[in-house]
Amino acid sequence: MASYNRSTPRSIILLIDLVIIFFSVMISYLLRFNFSIPYNEIELLPTALSIFMGVRLLSFIITKSFSGIIRYTETEDVTRIIFILLAGSIVLGAFDYIYFYFYEIIIIPRAILIIEFIASTVGLIAFRLLVKATYWEMKTPALQGEKIIIFGAGEAALFTLQALKQQLSETKVIALIDDDNRKQGKKIDNIKIYSAEDLSKLLEKNDVDKLIISAQNTSNQRKNELAELCFKYNTKIQYVPPVKKWINGELSANQIKNIDILELLERDEIKLDRTATAKEINGKTILITGGAGSIGSEIVRQVIQFQPKKILVIDSAETPLYHIELELNQYKLPNIEFVIGDIRNKSRMLRIFEEYKPNIIFHAAAYKHVPMMENNPSEAIFTNVNGTKILADLAHENGVEKFILISTDKAVNPTNVMGASKRIAEVYVQSLNTDSNTKYITTRFGNVLGSNGSVIPLFTKQIQEGGPITLTHQDITRYFMTIPEACQLVLEAGNKGNGGEIFVFNMGNSVKIVDLAKKMIKLSGLEVGKDIQIVFTGLRPGEKLYEELLATDENTLPTSHHKIMIAKVRNYEYAAINQKIEKLIQLFDSQDNQKIVKLMKDIIPEFISKNSVYETLD
């Protein structure tokens, strides 16, 4: 509001516009008659001038052409002035024609109309551009605000410049960066375009506050390179959101956001066989357990796109299920049912199977926290093993086409109860596949970015609270995948599966968690060790330093999708494994953790505990 109050009064702008019109009329007469105006035209000049001034004044008042802030003149304002003057000239021409029709006198020669239109257009636009140039020229030397570099010199950069100029805070864009050598050396709005090789020098010499990525097609690898460079010079890094997220097709400075760790860890978009997936899902009833969780809810969002007959979203957690229901109800989709139910309750699950008759099941419900399950083995086997067994058996008995189990990398050579419980679930559904018409498929992947209970939300909370960030070990590493990416691969694997496979996803390179924490601190504009401390607390019960995915040529088979492989694992005979799992589930009532874990190790010989009280059982 303060900026508006310091602007030139609107009445002064209107007066200046009218002065420009007056001189434009006079210049038009001089040019038309070679600086020697005939006597008869001089006699008509006061009348003609009055008509010109009256029509122009009326048009300015009606359109409020003088009401904009002159120093923010843009292309739209210039176009508006041209149309206002053109409309006025048409009115003047019509008036002149009518006057001639009745009185046979031409008050305003047609040539005068054309010349005055050109002169007034040039005058009014030049006045506004001069004010704008003078304002920014005077403002720049005294500028004490943020120094900004924009990465990208395309159309989005123009909108970014405009948005920054219109915000109230003081900012100065000192350079544009673009990889296109055809643009380098040129200027946009008097700002020079540099090559990417110059960025390091610019950051070093100018103490830059922000780098804004405006280029809409910047790859994730490029974002990481820019972020690393910005970290080196304590420069904040931001990005312009996709055009489809702009408000009414216009970008505002408030929409330019700080880049976060999720953007830096994302990988390029996965290309899926959408036609085959649509054929698999279209017109069918899809049951999704754990549908209110991170993975389950994203599977729901993605399955919706393929027009199933019905989606059953099942979860035992009332509040999260309510939240996903609220989210999806805004789309007014008639084919979604939200069901509260516990997968461990066979009667409840049987009722759901009988009523809805699902064709495909995505089983995402599970306990997944390693330390929690290490302290509660009976709950791990009751949910992850017994719950899976109940669903898998009902799928067989009710003629379900496909059953897709969502597993974890912690099931590979498990060192903890949680991982072992998921491995037992894998073993059971794989063995059941042998004698069933239902196709049982397992998908196995590592940590997903931003999921409930993952390190990123935890670190974010700790940074917001001023630290410290707590890590179990300085050398611990994990594989990460975004939730949408993981769920896309689940759908793809479910489509490709013929039954009995354990699909392993290519998780890319493992990430050192301490490096992840440092990046998150820097992205928050803080310094490691100064603003936020990192504290190492020691490995938790059952926790590994390094996760395994069995994603090498020696232990996997390739598929037609380069990010999906089939694990080479030992096959189990159904009768034998079923007998052992039944015995394991019966041990729940005993609540004897030692007996439960001992039998888990008997079922899964590769289950060797680490940093756990159960090491004595190995």
| Residue 138 confidence (pLDDT) | 58
Flag whether pLDDT at 590 surpasses 80: yes
Q: Residue 598 has what pLDDT?
A: 95
Residue 540 · residue 472 · CB < 8 Å: yes
Confirm or reject CATH 3.40.50.720 for domain 283-454+481-508+551-617, answering yes or no: yes
Of residues 533 and 562, more confidently modeled = 533
Average pLDDT over residues 593-616: 92
Residue 159 clears pLDDT 50, i.e. is over it: yes
Q: pTM (2 decimals)?
A: 0.65
**CA 38 – CA 23 distance, rounded (Å):** 19
Average pLDDT over residues 450-477: 78
Q: Which residues contact residue 146 at a Cβ distance below 8 angstroms, ignoring those fewer than 6 apart?
A: 169, 170, 171, 172, 209, 210
What is the three-class DSSP state of 194?
strand
Task: Give pLDDT, residue 247.
Answer: 59
Q: Which residues pair with 382 in a beta bridge?
A: none
pLDDT at 5: 41
* pLDDT exceeds 90 at position 176: no
Question: Looking at residue 167, what is its pLDDT?
Answer: 63
Q: How confident is the model at residue 244 (pLDDT cuts 50, 70, 90)?
A: low
Q: How confident is the model at residue 1 (pLDDT cuts 50, 70, 90)?
A: very low
Query: For the stretch 257-283, what's the b/e string if a residue is b when 16 or more beta carbons lie within 10 angstroms of its beta carbon?
Result: eebbbebbbbbeebeeeeeebeebbee
Q: What is the pLDDT of residue 430?
A: 93
Residue-wise pLDDT for 43-65, tens only, equals 888 888 888 888 888 888 887 76
Catalytic residue among 223, 402, 410, 518: 410
Beta bridge partners, 285, equal: 310
pLDDT at 292: 92
Q: Which whole number is the average pLDDT over 157-185?
A: 75
- Counting residues of the chain whose pLDDT is more than 90, the rounded percentage is 27
Domain pair 146-259 / 283-454+481-508+551-617, same fold: yes
Mean pLDDT score of the chain: 82
Reply yes or no on whether 410 is catalytic: yes
Banded pLDDT at 467 (limits 50, 70, 90): confident
For residues 297-317, give the mean pLDDT. Answer: 92
Greater pLDDT, 361 or 464: 361
Q: The CATH number of 146-259 is which of 3.40.50.2300, 1.20.1370.10, 3.40.50.720, 3.40.50.360?
A: 3.40.50.720
Q: Residue 175 pLDDT > 50, yes or no?
A: yes
449 in Cβ contact with 482 (< 8 Å):
yes
Does the pLDDT of residue 580 top 90, yes or no?
yes
pLDDT of residue 592: 94
Stretch 518-544: mean pLDDT, rounded? 80
pLDDT at 503 over 60: yes
Query: Is it the case that residue 246 has pLDDT exceeding 80?
Result: no
Residue 70 confidence class, pLDDT cut points 50, 70, 90: very low
The pLDDT, as a whole number, for residue 396 is: 95
Who has greater pLDDT, 250 or 493?
A: 493
pLDDT at 6 over 50: no
Buried b (16+ CB within 10 A) or exposed e, 215-243: beebeeeebeebbebbeebebbbbbbeee
Using DSSP's 3-state secondary structure scheme, residue 202 falls into: helix
Of the listed ranges 5-14, 146-155, 209-218, the one predicted with least confidence: 5-14
Reported as a pLDDT band with limits 50, 70 and 90, residue 353 is: very high
Collapse the DSSP code of 528 into the 3-class scheme (helix H, G, I; strand E, B; otherwise coil) and give the result: strand
The segment with the largest mean pLDDT, out of 6-15, 443-452, 505-514, 599-608, is: 599-608
| pLDDT the model gives residue 312 | 95
Q: Give the pLDDT score at 513.
A: 83
The Cα–Cα gap between 368 and 410 comes to 9
Q: Bigger pLDDT: 522 or 304?
A: 304
- For every residue of 421-473, DSSP letters joined together read HHHHHHHHHHHHGGG-SSEEEEEEE-EEET-TT-HHHHHHHHHHTT-PEEES-
Residue 75 pLDDT exceeds 70: no
Per cent of the chain over pLDDT 70 is: 86
> Rounded to an integer, what distance in angstroms lies between the CA atom of residue 81 and that of residue 74?
11
Domain positions in the chain are 2-139, 146-259, 283-454+481-508+551-617
Residues 6+ apart with CB under 8 A from 17: 56, 60, 65, 66, 124, 127
What pLDDT is recorded for position 410? Answer: 87
